């Protein structure tokens, strides 16, 4: 792909000038050239509008003579990533192909992507537009409609969890197994989660939210509860980011899309349940759709607390590295310590 051409500032339209602050650091022409190169759209027909939802990638609605698409651009390499976030967009093309071919989950078709960075210094991809509105933006949503949506989400996640690594990937492995490979595949879920836990603690320590002594203690705490994790676990595909913003619905509350699979991993579905708890999705309607009750043993409660901690602790480096909010990171630190308190005494 050739580098995009540029136009003189006097050639920009009023619409272009309005977009400039939102496009930074990319020029309007650069993004239009990307659309032309990947979609084949006429440059003069390309219209771009920033997507207001989404906190990690830069996303734009693309309207052109070839149709309507979403352009997603990864953050710069120095944005401040959790260990599993670096280059995570690179696992999405294969995931979307798998999910679209083996489930009824309305996942977007990825039309094109470029991870070679010959044109811009970011990974990016083009996706077909899914219909619907994120639940987080649906001000008209009534309680019965939300229940309908959560029931359908339950059914869809049950299908997702039915995808197992040996059948889908050809290997009986656990962890973040996508093309970005932030960790080595592990032969058991215990070894995978222990690796993930230690790597996350390293991020929390690196951002200054945990002292080295506290990070070591939290690592040892998991080892002390090893017996709760050493059990047969199928390596299921997990979304790991299902919340109101990533669920699209129509005007009746029917699910029209699940988005943002870039944090997906393969492992124990109970860790997905903990994320659903934290994000307010784990309601009776969801479980009606999922069609199976979660385990309620003492061991399951130990795992639930660790999995919830895995979700909560990530916000400390996010707040420090990406938002510069040390005070908010301290709030997550105190919350994490309160969650861990029953585990210290167990």
Q: What share of the chain is helix, strand, coil (3-state, %, to 5)?
A: 50, 15, 35
Helix (H, G, I), strand (E, B) or coil at 239: coil
Average pLDDT over residues 33-48: 94
Asked if residue 4 belongs to a domain, the reply is: no
Q: Of 76, 97, 128, which one is at a domain's C-terminal end? A: 128
Asked if residue 3 belongs to a domain, the reply is: no
Q: Give the pLDDT of residue 168.
A: 98
Average pLDDT over residues 247-273: 97
- Condensed to tens digits (0 to 9), the pLDDT of residues 52-107 reads 776 789 999 999 999 999 999 999 999 999 999 999 999 999 999 999 999 999 99
- Condensed to tens digits (0 to 9), the pLDDT of residues 276-291 reads 999 999 999 999 999 9
Q: Give the pLDDT of residue 83.
A: 98
Share of the chain above pLDDT 90, in %: 88
Band of residue 305 on the pLDDT scale cut at 50, 70, 90 = very high
Asked if residue 1 belongs to a domain, the reply is: no
Give me 309's structure tokens. Answer: 């901690």
| CATH label of the domain that carries residue 45 | 3.30.200.20
171 and 296 together in one domain: yes
φ and ψ at residue 60, rounded to 5 degrees: -140, 135
Lowest mean pLDDT among 9-13, 21-25, 54-58: 9-13
Which candidate, 16, 18, 10, 14, places its Cα nearest to that of 30? 16
Q: Give the pLDDT of residue 18.
A: 52
Q: Give the pLDDT of residue 28.
A: 87
Q: Give the pLDDT of residue 3.
A: 33
248 and 313 together in one domain: yes
192 and 115 together in one domain: no
Asked if residue 320 belongs to a domain, the reply is: yes
Mean pLDDT of the residues in the chain: 92
163 and 115 together in one domain: no
Q: Is residue 22 predicted with pLDDT exceeding 80?
A: no
Q: Give the pLDDT of residue 338.
A: 97
φ and ψ at residue 227, rounded to 5 degrees: -60, -30
- Condensed to tens digits (0 to 9), the pLDDT of residues 224-249 reads 999 999 999 999 999 999 999 999 99
Q: Give the pLDDT of residue 179.
A: 96
Q: Is residue 15 predicted with pLDDT exceeding 70?
A: no
User: Under the phi-then-psi rule, with left for phi > 0, alpha for psi from -120 to 50, and beta for the rest, what region is 133?
Assistant: beta
User: Under the phi-then-psi rule, with left for phi > 0, alpha for psi from -120 to 50, and beta for the rest, what region is 341?
Assistant: alpha
Asked if residue 245 belongs to a domain, the reply is: yes
198 and 320 together in one domain: yes
Eight-state DSSP code of residue 321: I
197 and 108 together in one domain: no
Asked if residue 24 belongs to a domain, the reply is: yes
Q: Give the pLDDT of residue 17.
A: 44
Asked if residue 277 belongs to a domain, the reply is: yes
Going from the C-alpha of 17 to that of each of 12, 28, 43, the distances in angstroms are 7, 9, 17
Band of residue 21 on the pLDDT scale cut at 50, 70, 90 = low
93 and 209 together in one domain: no
How far, in whole angstroms, is CA 326 from its chain's centroid? 23
Q: Is residue 346 predicted with pLDDT exceeding 90?
A: no
Q: Is residue 169 predicted with pLDDT exceeding 80?
A: yes
Going from the C-alpha of 338 to that of each of 118, 180, 333, the distances in angstroms are 47, 33, 9
Task: For residue 181, count other CB atoms closer than 10 A to its CB.
Answer: 14
Ranked by mean pLDDT, the top range of 27-36, 47-56, 58-67, 214-223 is: 214-223
| CATH label of the domain that carries residue 252 | 3.90.1200.10
138 and 122 together in one domain: no
Give the range of the structural domain holding residue 334, as residue numbers without chain letter.
Answer: 133-345
How far, in whole angstroms, is CA 328 from its chain's centroid? 21
Which candidate, 179, 312, 168, 152, places its Cα nearest to that of 237? 168
Q: Give the pLDDT of residue 8.
A: 37
Task: For residue 101, count other CB atoms closer than 10 A to its CB.
Answer: 7
Domain count across the chain: 2
28's CB contacts (< 8 A; 6+ apart) are 12, 16, 19, 20, 48
138 and 89 together in one domain: no
Q: Of 97, 128, 159, which one is at a domain's C-terminal end? A: 128
Question: In the chain, where do the E strands start and end?
Answer: 47-50, 58-64, 67-73, 110-114, 124-128, 133-134, 236-238, 247-249, 255-258, 265-267
CA dihedral 284, 289, 292, 294 (to 10 degrees): -40
The two most distant CA atoms of the chain are separated, in Å, by 69
Average pLDDT over residues 5-29: 54
Q: Is residue 11 predicted with pLDDT exceeding 90?
A: no
Asked if residue 2 belongs to a domain, the reply is: no
Band of residue 137 on the pLDDT scale cut at 50, 70, 90 = very high
120 and 147 together in one domain: no
201 and 291 together in one domain: yes
Q: Of 113, 128, 143, which one is at a domain's C-terminal end? A: 128
Which candidate, 181, 178, 170, 194, places its Cα nearest to that of 268? 194
13 and 118 together in one domain: yes
Q: Give the pLDDT of residue 25.
A: 73
């Amino acid at each position: 792909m050739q580098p995009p051409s540029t136009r003189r500032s006097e050639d920009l339209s009023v619409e272009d000038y309005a977009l400039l602050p939102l496009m930074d650091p990319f020029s309007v022409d650069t993004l239009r050239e990307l659309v032309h190169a990947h979609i084949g759209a006429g440059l003069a027909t390309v219209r771009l509008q920033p997507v207001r939802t989404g906190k990690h990638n830069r996303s734009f609605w693309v309207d052109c003579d070839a149709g309507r698409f979403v352009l997603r651009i990864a953050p710069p390499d120095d944005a401040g990533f959790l260990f599993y976030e670096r280059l995570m967009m690179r696992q999405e093309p294969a995931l979307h192909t798998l999910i679209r071919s083996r489930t009824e989950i309305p996942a977007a078709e990825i039309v094109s992507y470029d991870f070679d960075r010959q044109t811009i210094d970011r990974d990016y991809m083009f996706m077909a537009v899914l219909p619907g509105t994120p639940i987080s933006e649906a001000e008209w949503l009534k309680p019965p409609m939300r229940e309908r949506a959560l029931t359908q989400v339950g059914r869809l996640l049950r299908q997702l969890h039915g995808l197992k690594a040996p059948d889908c990937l050809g290997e009986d492995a656990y962890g973040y197994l996508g093309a970005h490979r932030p960790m080595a595949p592990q032969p058991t879920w215990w070894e995978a989660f222990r690796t993930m836990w230690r790597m996350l603690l390293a991020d929390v320590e690196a951002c200054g939210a945990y002292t080295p002594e506290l990070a070591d203690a939290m690592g040892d705490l998991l080892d002390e509860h090893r017996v709760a994790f050493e059990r047969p676990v199928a390596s299921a595909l997990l979304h790991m980011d299902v919340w109101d913003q990533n669920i699209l619905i129509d005007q009746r509350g029917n699910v029209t899309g699940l988005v943002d699979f870039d944090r997906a991993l393969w492992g124990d579905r109970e860790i997905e349940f903990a994320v659903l708890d934290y994000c307010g999705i784990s309601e009776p309607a969801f479980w009606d759709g999922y069609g199976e009750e979660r385990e309620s043993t003492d061991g399951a409660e130990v795992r639930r607390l660790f999995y919830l901690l895995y979700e909560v602790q990530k916000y400390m480096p996010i707040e420090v590295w990406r938002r510069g909010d040390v005070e908010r990171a301290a709030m997550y630190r105190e919350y994490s310590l309160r969650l861990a308190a029953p585990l210290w005494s167990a």
